[in-house]
Chain A
Amino acid sequence: MPVLEANLVKKHYKLGQHTVEALAGVNFKVEKGEFVAIMGPSGSGKSTLLHLLGGLDTPTEGEITLGEKQLSKMNEYQATLARRHNVGFVFQFFNLLPTLTAEENILLPLIIDGKDPKRYKERLESILNIVNLADRRHHKPDQLSGGQQQRVAVARALITQPAILLADEPTGNLDTKSGTAIMELLQRSCRELEQTVIVVTHDPRAAAYAQRVIFLRDGLVVREFPISESTPLAERMSAILAVMRELEAE
């Protein structure tokens, strides 16, 4: 059974007198523990799709199912609770609270949910080890590098063991080395924690860490192909670039 399913999802926006069709009927499924990358040029609808998949917005038409729940039919409050318990977010700009330490930032979703962080000590230690920040746990964001801050953000997204982890251009604000570390971290969370991850990115190098790449253009899925994990990274990148050139040429 898929963890996430988009069925004929459409999204229209009103811009003055005009209606803009951001998504024109998107269909796809994501299985548990899968690592999916969504790519496409600017204006292709990838950010809109991410908002809909994360329950931040509702589709004009179509259905989005997260586990057994219909995200598209939830009201604002239900969608908030669904995000709290089932979705982890990683942002391009980290979005950590500057007044909290790394550990407190990681525990923030549990604190918002009214849970006692002490009862999640074991899970915290495990995640801190995965993101390799055990020795930086008491540092505040301004005492951490960009890469470390993004690792804190990944840890924060993982702490609630969400059904899906959505990452919006997670390497967009990082240098290549830090970006690679983040993508490896997401890959590791898939392998070791069976975490389902969906990454929206422009970067073919980042997308190359995924098991499947979905290409969007003009609000529609125009290409979708799996990548074998046994294939070397450079070859995976070449394959993605080839598809991108092919789509540009069409």
Chain B
Amino acid sequence: MIALLRQIRLLTLRSIRARFLRFALSAFGIVLGVAGMLAIGVTNQTALDSITRLFENTSGRAKLSISSATQDVNGFPEQVQRTVGNLPGISAAAPTVRALTAQADEAASDQLDLGLFGMSSSDNVQIYGIDPAIDRQLRDYTLTAGTFLGDNPTAREVVLVENYAADKDLTLGGWFSILTPNGVESLKIVGLMAREGPGQTNNGAFGVIPVATAQELFNRQGQLDQVDILTTNPNPSTDELDALKASLQARLGKDLSVTYPSGQGERMTQMLQNYQIGLNFMSGIALFVGAFLIYNAFAMTVVERTREFGMLRTIGMTRGQVTGLILLEAGTLGVFGSLAGVGAGMLLARGLTRLMETILNSPLNTVEVPFNDMLTSWSIGLAVTLLAAGVPAFQAGRISPMEALRARGKSGEGWLIRRGWMLGLVLLAASTILLIANPFPYDVQFRSGSLTVFGLFSGATLLIPGTVSGWERLTRPLMKVLYGASGSLGSRNVQRSRQRTTLTVAALMVGVAMVIMTRGMTESFAGDLRDWIAAYIGGDIYASSSIPMRSDVGRRIAAVPGVQAVAAIRYLEVDWQTASGVESINLMAYDPVEYTRVTRFVFSDPETDPASVVRRLQAGGAVLVSSVLSEKYGLKPGDTVYLRTRSGFHAFEVAAVVVDFYNQGLVMQGSWNDMRRYFRINDASTFLVKVKTGESIAAVQEIIDTLYGKR
């Protein structure tokens, strides 16, 4: 051990010090890779923990929640609450009616925010209709001013989050006017609550009103959206809770869903998947570049120190000792580089967490990096360093002691340089076939995607030494024409060290490929996004409301002078049966004929005939799937998808694939008739308005605002 430490001190550390810049550059690659990997892992965990905690806080002491299994916008009958409340083992069942609305004074300025994570409006306010007596047994509302809701179940009163009230200049005792399906209604502000616990709902744009008032204002008489359950035993075991959940589910039937409240957090974390995939890919590339830098640095070191290793072999160093010497240098680099990477990763995690907070529009927990995560990242960094330096280290061990006696160091060509093209050809062919044929399901393809790309680059790199001679001969005449004799000599020099040429070309190849890939992906995505936005808001005016609108509003808008056509659109969340389970997606419903009068379809396959798609949708039982779903699940026209309707899962034929990034592309489009028939919904979220040619869009918009803006 002491002898090893002596060797580290005398040979390893001195060698690193003598080539400090080269080692620092290699270490930078490892720092980058480890930092990226750790930061992404930590940020993801922090986001997940924060979201789970948020749902736990807002759910209070509720042990179970009951909601509609069919995502029915009308909820479920309020008798369910009374039935459940009387069951043994349940001490309280708190009813909730949810309504997303807007302050009446601001409705006219309510605008659609388009983003990659869907649509949102900054002026929405979430209203919960609750039973104040029961609800306070489950949730701790921290009142900061006034009183809580009184006993009168139909009182027109509200308790708002104080930050929201302050933002909107609302004061205690004043009136809060909101949009409802029946017009503007006012509620007296009887109390203000802190933005903590349930006050964190909808990022604090939140208020509670009596449940009967909510039912009346939002035309939800006799309906509830959720019932939260408190058990008689305040701390039931997991088994007891599972048993209760199962018995409730059996009693309530398949139309209602009994869940653990914190499970709702999982839904939100799905939203982050694309972001996480992108970041994971980036951290993989960073690690690859780090490994490449290390291989390059050590390959150069071995060539440069050939005579030194020859001398060491001559005076009695074994092959294993020489290999060990290089691995010790790599190990030292890996230990300190990975350590610095862990430090940088912790800082980067803070930055990414702030970014995630912006995306989620919600504060996250303080970043905490578990020791195990640090240790894992550090170990991976060290292992990648040792692996990358492994080939040069092995080559160093094979250096003949006679190299020490030569007047000039000779760089031998290893097997990979001489015969590697065969392996390269196999790798290149296999990875190209995998990338083009794409035979695996989406999940496997994603997991193996980075490896396939890695195989493609490795294969191309291994082909370089075998083909460099041909390329050089091919380009030599041009070099001679351009630069004369020195051009010809310079061209021949390319063949002098095929290993060095390979590394240089490979580095350039990776760089150029990354630039082209990034540019291609960005342009393709931006192009698709532009097409989609153009079609999505293809109308001249986009009329939306925070609450669903009756479809006859469309007819009235169509009667406005200057309006050529109007298309009603309704978004609803539906369950879709996939091979791996049930996934929640958005269904966008419209009348296909109306829709094409206002805007156009953007099909993935430009050859698709819009008229036949319209006919197919009108015939019923058909949907259009987004290109994202098509790629993810291998869906194509003619396939069948199963969506959960009011009467259970129903088959719909895929009529076409469209470019649609709404809800991250987790979206299908269907006909208005199907929506009414299978989901029993007949109101609109949005109206797309097409203005007649020559008419002023601004003038028509003003008329619509004046007529319907306050509703």
Contacts and interface: CB of A to CB of B under 8 A. Distances in A.
Interface of A: 47, 50-51, 54, 56-57, 76-77, 80-81, 83-85, 88-89, 91-93, 95, 97-100, 104, 108-109, 111-117, 156, 168
Interface stretch (B12-20, B141-149, B468-476): B12-20
Nearest to B307: A95
Given A56-B401, A56-B402, A97-B308, 18 more contacts: A51-B402, A56-B314, A56-B405, A77-B318, A80-B316, A83-B314, A91-B404, A91-B405, A97-B11, A99-B15, A104-B10, A108-B315, A111-B6, A112-B312, A112-B317, A112-B321, A156-B315, A168-B405
B98 interface: no
Given A95-B311, A99-B14, A99-B17, A51 B3 contact: no
B315 A83 contact: yes
A83 B14 contact: no
Contacts of A80: 313, 316-319
B396 to A, nearest CB: 15
A57 B316 contact: no
B324 to A, nearest CB: 11
B436 interface: no
Given A91-B404, A91-B405, A114-B3, A109 B14 contact: no
B315 A89 contact: yes
Contacts of B3: 111, 114-116
Nearest to B405: A168
Contacts, number: 80
Nearest to A48: B402
Given A85-B316, A91-B311, A104-B10, A99 B402 contact: no
Contacts of A95: 307-308, 310-311, 404
23 contacts: A51-B405, A56-B405, A76-B319, A80-B313, A80-B318, A81-B316, A81-B318, A83-B315, A83-B316, A83-B401, A85-B316, A89-B315, A89-B404, A91-B405, A99-B11, A99-B18, A108-B315, A109-B316, A111-B3, A112-B7, A115-B3, A116-B3, A117-B6
A219 B563 CA distance: 106
B695 to A, nearest CB: 83
A85 B318 CA distance: 13
A70 B675 CA distance: 94
A93 to B, nearest CB: 7
A54 B401 CA distance: 10
A57 B402 contact: yes
B2 interface: yes
Q: Which 9 residue pairs spanning A and B have beta carbons closest together? A: A84-B316, A99-B14, A114-B3, A95-B311, A56-B401, A99-B18, A80-B318, A109-B315, A83-B316
Nearest to B315: A109
Given A80-B313, A109-B316, A93 B10 contact: no
Contacts of A99: 11, 14-15, 17-18
* Best-buried of A54, A77, A80, A104 by chain B (most CB within 10 Å): A80
Contacts of B15: 99
Interface in B260-305: none
A97 to B, nearest CB: 7
B10 A100 contact: yes
Interface in B317-331: 317-319, 321
Nearest to B305: A97
A47 B34 CA distance: 50
A97 B311 CA distance: 9
A81 B317 CA distance: 8
B312 to A, nearest CB: 7
Interface string B382-410: 00000000000000000011101101000
A87 B151 CA distance: 103
A113 B405 contact: no
Nearest to B18: A99
Nearest to A81: B316
